[in-house]
Amino acid sequence: MIQRSAWKRWLLGIAVLHGIVACAGFFAPYDPAEQDRERPYLSPMKIHLLDREGHFHFRPFFYEQQLRRGSFDQFEERTQQAIPLRFFVTGARYHLLGLLPSRTHFFGAEESRVYLVGSDAYGRDQLSRILYGGQISLLAGLLGAGLTLAISVLIGATAGYFGGWRDALLMRVAELFGALPWLYLLLALRAFLPLSVSPLQAFFLIILVIGAVGWARPARLVRGVVLSAKERDYVRAARGFGARDVYLLRRHILPETSSVILTQAAILVPQFVLAEMTLSFLGLGVPEPVPSWGSLLASLQQYSVLVSYWWMYLPALAIVPFFLGYLGLASALQQKAGTEKIVRTTSGGRW
């Protein structure tokens, strides 16, 4: 019983993770673009329970950071004043899920800004940027996967159902796309699209590029299912009764592909999130000031940041739980369908 619903548990876990990112406005203490020029590259703050005199406080607190005298990037705690961490505080305006205007944040502090995972070059809160960046990266992954699956179903169904020269042509092209080193293909396609565009345009460009590149394998799987489904007795019978192609495909054949498509979705989404990350990391994705998981890492290409500010690496770790969730979901779905495959998702595609 528990075994049977393994994929549902994974799905629930993924839904919770996505929910947190979708409600970034609530969970993030600040606006991702809000700067604090007094505190660039602030390291993650320590949250205390014991104060200077050794007294225990139930409410966690932190100390405000100030520049150490005579230095320009060393901070020290001002231990005179403990600033308590508060929950459900009122802060920057945001729209929950893009709809509900609100000012309530999950946590924050009233007297000073709190940086749980540090700040970046402009003193922007890293935690807020990670959460908001996740919206961009995950949405790009989800929409890209949707686009790819739509293309795959179209091509796979055409090739499998009509066969003949269409099948031969489409499958040759699929071989071509499937055989190329993925990241090279992705970059080549990105290379010939406009480079300096607004963040929104860049976002859609990326979805387009990612979506156009990965369709080969799912299309082949869909084709296989369609090939076997169209020979079923009930499909033949329906055709004998005069059913049209479109009706047959919609009513009898495409529903058979649903399990393949679900499994492929679970594999494609993390792959495409990573693809977005990689493109943005390389400076070919969504540009500043809009955060995405990839562009948050781009600053690590500067040697000085790499050496001195290790917490700039923390955004990279945000993707790991998502990877775990999707990997678990994919293998649970495959187990359910009895076609377990070992899949590795890398920036270079999957294999």
Partner 1 sequence: MRYFLRRLMQAAFLLVGVSILTFLFSALAPGNYFDDMRLNPQISPETVAALRVQYQIDRPLTVRYGRWLNALLHGEMGFSFAYNSPVAPLLWVRARNTLLLTLTATLIAWSLALPLGIWSAETRGRLPDRALAGMTAALLVIPDLVLAIGLLILAVRSGWFPTGGMNSVGFESLSQVRKFRDVAWHMELPVLALVLSALPILVRHVRAAVAEVLDAPFLRAATSHGIPQRILLYKYALRAAAIPLISLFGFSVGALLSGSLLVEVVMSWPGLGPLLLEAILARDLYVVIGGVLCSTIFLVAGNFLADVLMYWADPRIRTGVAAN
Count CB neighbours of 152 within 10 A. Answer: 26
Angstrom distances, CA of residue 58 to CA of 50, 84, 86, 145, 303: 9, 10, 12, 46, 41
CB closer to partner 1, 247 vs 313: 313
Closest distance between partner 1 and the C-beta of residue 316, in Å? 4
Contact window for partner 1 (CB under 8 A) among 42-50, 92-100, 228-236, 323-331: 323-331
Single out the residue of 101, 194, 242, 338 in contact with partner 1 (rule: CB under 8 A): 194
Single out the residue of 49, 168, 195, 337 in contact with partner 1 (rule: CB under 8 A): 195
Closest distance between partner 1 and the C-beta of residue 210, in Å? 14
Closest distance between partner 1 and the C-beta of residue 7, in Å? 17
CB closer to partner 1, 339 vs 346: 346
CA distance 93 to 81: 28
Single out the residue of 49, 191, 200, 337 in contact with partner 1 (rule: CB under 8 A): 191
Q: Would you state the structure tokens that stand for residue 79, as one six-digit string? A: 């231990």
Closest distance between partner 1 and the C-beta of residue 212, in Å? 10
The answer to whether residue 200 forms part of the interface with partner 1 (CB under 8 A) is no
Angstrom distances, CA of residue 290 to CA of 27, 93, 167, 204: 18, 17, 43, 14
Write the binding mask 331 to 350 for partner 1: x where contact by CB under 8 A, - elsewhere.
-----------xxxxxxxx-
Buried b (16+ CB within 10 A) or exposed e, 251-285: ebbbebbeebbbbbbbbbbbbbbbbbbbbbbbebb
Angstrom distances, CA of residue 23 to CA of 27, 184, 324: 7, 35, 21
- DSSP string covering 74-134: -EEEEEEEEEE-EEEEEEEEEEETTTEEEEEEEEE-SSS---TT-B-TT--BHHHHHHHHH
Q: Would you state the structure tokens that stand for residue 35, as one six-digit string? A: 């700067």
Q: Which of residues 129-188 bind partner 1 (CB under 8 A)?
A: 172-173, 175-176, 179-185, 187-188
Closest distance between partner 1 and the C-beta of residue 17, in Å? 13
Ranges of beta strands (E only) in the chain are: 48-50, 56-67, 75-84, 86-96, 100-108, 345-346, 349-350
Residues whose CB falls within 8 Å of the CB of residue 236, separated by 6 or more in sequence, listed in order: none
Contact window for partner 1 (CB under 8 A) among 5-13, 24-32, 156-164, 322-330: 322-330
C-beta of residue 14 within 8 angstroms of C-beta of residue 114: no
Strand partners, 64: 78
Closest distance between partner 1 and the C-beta of residue 347, in Å? 5
DSSP three-state, residue 52: coil
CB closer to partner 1, 33 vs 324: 324
CB closer to partner 1, 42 vs 312: 312
CB closer to partner 1, 6 vs 96: 6
CB closer to partner 1, 165 vs 234: 165
Write down the residue that tokens 């693809």 correspond to.
Answer: 275
Q: Which of residues 261-320 bind partner 1 (CB under 8 A)?
A: 274, 277-278, 281-284, 297, 300-301, 303, 306-307, 310, 313, 316-317, 319-320
| Binding residues vs partner 1 (CB under 8 A) | 172-173, 175-176, 179-185, 187-195, 274, 277-278, 281-284, 297, 300-301, 303, 306-307, 310, 313, 316-317, 319-320, 323-324, 327, 342-349, 351
